[in-house]
Structure 1
Amino acid sequence: MSDSVDQHVLAKTLTWRDGMALGLALPTGLFVTFGYLLGVVGAWVAIAVWFSGAVISYLQCRVFAEMASMFPRDSGGVARYAIEGWKKYFAPLGAIAAFGYWIGWSLTISMAAVVFGELIEATWFQDNTLDFGIFGNHLGLEHLFALGAMLFAWAFNYFGLKFGAAVNKVLGLLVVVGLTVVSVACLVSPSIDWSTANLSWSVAGDWRTVAVVFYVTAWAVYAGEIVASFAPEYKDTARDTSKAMSRISLFMIVLFVVVPTALSGGLGEETIRDNPVTYVAVAFGQAFGGASWIGTIVIAFSLLVGMISTTADGGRALFGLAQEGMTIKQLDWVNRWGVPGRSL
């Protein structure tokens, strides 16, 4: 290929295992939603809704894998498929859907970064007094950690997605191992009295409450479609996309049932409700006596994995919009490492 063509073609370097690694951003949804869901519904209700959502996600991913094989050169996944689906009928709807997809994933980066910074500060820098202002905003040490995490995620994407996927494999494996250990500990540890009595079928509200729970759940569990965003970068687009999406979807079904069942049965709904983001750290502390910092590391690694994946996904969605002529045309550019550097 000529250099001019190379600058608009993504590098095909990924396998389905890399796609799964990028999909390991999904446990982040568990950390940031479960504790808050227990504020309005009981654990059994949340788990049942999550199981249903995970099954729907699996079926959706089968459809998206088929679309990836239909449009093997289209970057951006679901956002790009929406454009393709609507362009013959009412193109603005496709543009709106694609923009909503891009901005949704992109805003998630800042949310995860701030939670990451607050976790680090609360665990190891409780006595810091750093405070400064920028344009009327009061910032502290946690925001510096957040900015560092965002730059970390960007760097591991800019210099090749294969590199970012390799980092996700290591961090993601540590997260999965950590969740497995703490889940087993909640079930068998003598210091934790696991019981089904700690889980309830309660609903604190009417049908609208349940609708909101379904929406929040969908936001967390449908994220398996992120794997399709990298379809043009798999060595075998049709096979690798399909394998990665089916496996990450099955993993989600297990994750969103086993982990909340183990932790809510061991800690109780009230404890998780009072610690909506750090309940994994609380579980480590109770199971292993003062080892809550291990749980903090598990959560922090999960947030980093999420930021690497969402940065990559948001960049591909924006790159796809540029390819369709729906945003600044200069964003349709690939750097020497085969990734859309400007869109990142």
Structure 2
Amino acid sequence: MTTSPESTGGSVSVVQGTALTLAAVLGTGVISLPALAIEAAGPASLVAWAALLLISVPLAATFAALGARHPDGGGVATYARLAFGERVSTMVGWGFFLAIPIGAPVAAGFAASYVADAVGGGRSTEVVVTAAVICVVAVMNWFGIQVSAGVQLAIAGAIATLLLVVIVVSVPRVDPGHFSPFLTHGWSGVGSAAAVLVWAFAGWEIVSSLSAEYRDPARDIGRATSTTLGIVTVLYLGIAFVTVGVLGHATGRAPLADLLAGAFGEWARPLTTVIAVLLTVGAINSYFAGASRLGAALAITGAMPRWLGSDIGDGRRTPRHALSVVVGLGLLVTIGEAALGRPTDATLLVTTGTFALVYVVGTAAAVRLLPGGWPRVAAVVSVAASIVLVVLTGWAVLLPIATGLAGLLWTTRRRRGPGSPDPQPRTIGGDTTVAGPLL
């Protein structure tokens, strides 16, 4: 249920909101994506970074406007339900739920590449560390050992500080020769880099999910979003610039470690590895917690097999059935990639395609829900930009689309059959679950 800004009773200030949004946007991708972008586009990857930062302006403005006018913890799923109805909301829920186990090996693999860089072992080390990170986070969620918001914000602050240090110490070592030739893979390479970099810009939708927690959503959300956008712009463009300028085409799988080691010596490499692992564990922990509760919520409303939510009794237990599915699929993807000789980031485009689709749905809902003027203009621009990102993703976007359609088909047949569940509000972990998924 959507509440008015005056009745939210939240406690999040502008500073706290900025920190939370920064923690969501400044995720695991920044520790490895600069290298992947250079691999796709060479020095012209800077164009892809700049383009996505430019797109982030209307995207961030759109979700900030949605949060200010419709403060609710459901985020994109709530807006999809308000604008388009239960079916679209269900499709978004299915796509997001199954994107988590597909994306977990990618996120864990980013940290694993830093461990392999520090201790050696190559590909085998990456696979083992990827699986180990997934298992550690699974145990944490199974026993309800959640990483506190304060700890996650501290980690985000540490990575932001690390990025700023990397930029400052690396600028004097930039070699102009590394920027030529600029378009080493043509403009198509820039498009490929942009599709990869969507991972680094997923998180603006969290602005709307946190909206009900602000003291004054109508006033504070815009300020926190603007501040976050400025910080992210400086850090992302700075890291992208020095990675190209210092490392050139010889970028390894752990670019931040390479940059710090080049400036301070090899002793700095293990420090970067520790931060990368902590950042990854915190991020995957949040996604596993959210995905397990989303799966249980979908099950309670009849949008997924009832077994996924059958272990929720008094509303306070961890939905272990849904968690088991997420973890099992994540490990299956990791093992499958290892068996096929594929890197841990092989499913990156599938995950970024899902993020882009979520943006399409969220911004399209904004076109219907926001008033005329600049909010609607920003929403229209965001829809067009999100569609471009989906197109750039290519064939990989077909999987989340197929997942959403499968969820819609399953739900429709389920609810037409006898003994369909009553989609009444229930509680999971103290949060009210309405008839539809909460992202």
TM-score bracket, shorter-length normalisation: 0.7 to 0.9
Count of matched residue pairs: 307
5+ residue gaps, structure 2: 1-7, 313-318, 320-425
Aligned mates of 1:172, 1:187 — CA distance in 2? 23
CA spacing shift, 1:238–1:55, aligned 2, 3 Å: same
| 1:307 paired residue number | 284
Q: Take 2:271 and 2:227, find their aligned partners in 1: how far apart are those partners?
A: 27
Q: Which AA in structure 1 matches 2:175?
A: S
| Number of the residue aligned with 1:37 | 37
State the Cα distance separating 1:204 from its structure 2 match.
4.6
The answer to whether the 8 A contact 1:20-1:244 is kept is yes
Alignment check: 8 A CA contact 1:114 1:146 kept? no
CA distance in 2, matches of 1:254, 1:222: 17
Q: Look up the SS of the partner of 1:290 in the other structure.
A: coil
Partner of 1:144: 132
Q: Distance in 1 between matches of 2:56 and 2:100?
A: 17
For residue 86 of structure 1, report the CA deviation from its aligned partner: 1.4
Counterpart for residue 294 of structure 1: 271
CA positional deviation for 1:315: 5.8
Secondary structure at the aligned position of 1:168 is classed as: helix
1:248 alignment partner in structure 2: 228
Compute the displacement of 1:333 (Å). 1.9
Q: CA deviation at 1:339?
A: 9.1
> Which stretch of the first structure deviates more once superposed, 55-64 or 298-307?
298-307
Aligned with 2:78 (options 67, 77, 80): 80
Instruction: Indicate the residue corresponding to 2:405 in structure 1.
Output: none
Aligned to 2:61: 62
Could you say what secondary structure the match of 1:202 adopts? coil
Q: Give the Å deviation of 1:287.
A: 0.9
Cα pair 1:172 1:301 within 8 Å, conserved = no
Equivalent position to 2:151, from 167, 187, 208: 167
Determine whether 1:271 maps to 2:269: no
- Displacement, 1:323? 8.6
The residue number in structure 1 matching 2:212 is: 232
Shift of residue 261, structure 1, vs aligned partner:
0.9
Unpaired segments of 5 or more residues in structure 1?
A: 1-9, 131-138
Deviations 1:180-201 (A, max 9, x none): 112211123xxxx322221246
Q: TM-score, normalised by structure 1?
A: 0.72
Letter in 1 for 2:87: P
* Counterparts in 2 of 1:314 and 1:36: CA distance versus 1, 3 Å: same
Does 1:182 pair with 2:130? no
SS in 2 for 1:333: strand
Which residue is 1:104 aligned to? 99
Task: Provide the C-alpha distance between the structure 2 equivalents of 1:299 and 1:84, rounded to a whole number of angstroms.
Answer: 38
Decide whether aligned partners of structure 1 residues 81 and 196 sit closer, same or farther in structure 2, where only a CA change above 3 A counts.
farther
**Which deviates the most, 60-69 or 224-233?**
224-233
- List per-residue Cα deviations over 1:21-76 (Å, max 9, x = no partner): 44324242222322122123122x21222122112112211111221233323x33
Number of the residue aligned with 1:136: none
In the alignment, which residue of structure 2 is the partner of 1:135? none
Per-residue deviation, 1:280: 0.8
Question: Which string of whole-angstrom CA distances, capped at 9 and with x for unpartnered residues, describes residues 236-268 of structure 1?
Answer: 44444433333322222112201111232122x
Q: How big is each residue's C-alpha offset from its partner over 1:308-340, in whole Å with a ceiling of 9 and x where there is no partner?
A: 44346546755775797645576842435x698
Identical residues among aligned pairs (%): 21
CA change 1:140–1:311 in 2 (3 A) is closer
Distance 1:14 1:107 in 2: 32
Matched, 1:113 2:101: no
Change (3 A) 1:245 1:79: farther
Q: Using the alignment, how far apart are the partners of 1:155 and 1:244 within structure 2?
A: 33
Kept in 2: contact 1:186–1:283 (CA 8 A): yes
Give the equivalent residue in structure 2 for 1:335. 429
CA contact (8 A) 1:116 1:146 kept: no
Q: Which has the higher contact order (CA 8 A, sep 6+)?
A: 1
**What letter is aligned with 1:95?**
T
Distance 1:142 1:316, change over 3 A: closer
Instruction: Tell me if structure 2 keeps the 8 A contact 1:198–1:266.
Output: yes
What residue in structure 1 maps to residue 350 of structure 2? none
Partner of 2:195: 215
**How far apart are the structure 2 equivalents of 1:177 and 1:36?**
22
Distance 1:19 1:106, change over 3 A: farther
CA distance in structure 2 between the aligned counterparts of 1:178 and 1:71, rounded to whole angstroms: 35
**Would the aligned equivalents of 2:109 and 2:130 in 1 still touch at CA under 8 Å?**
yes
Task: Note the C-alpha offset of 1:227.
Answer: 3.0
| Residue of structure 2 equivalent to 1:202 | 182
SS, match of residue 40 in structure 1: helix
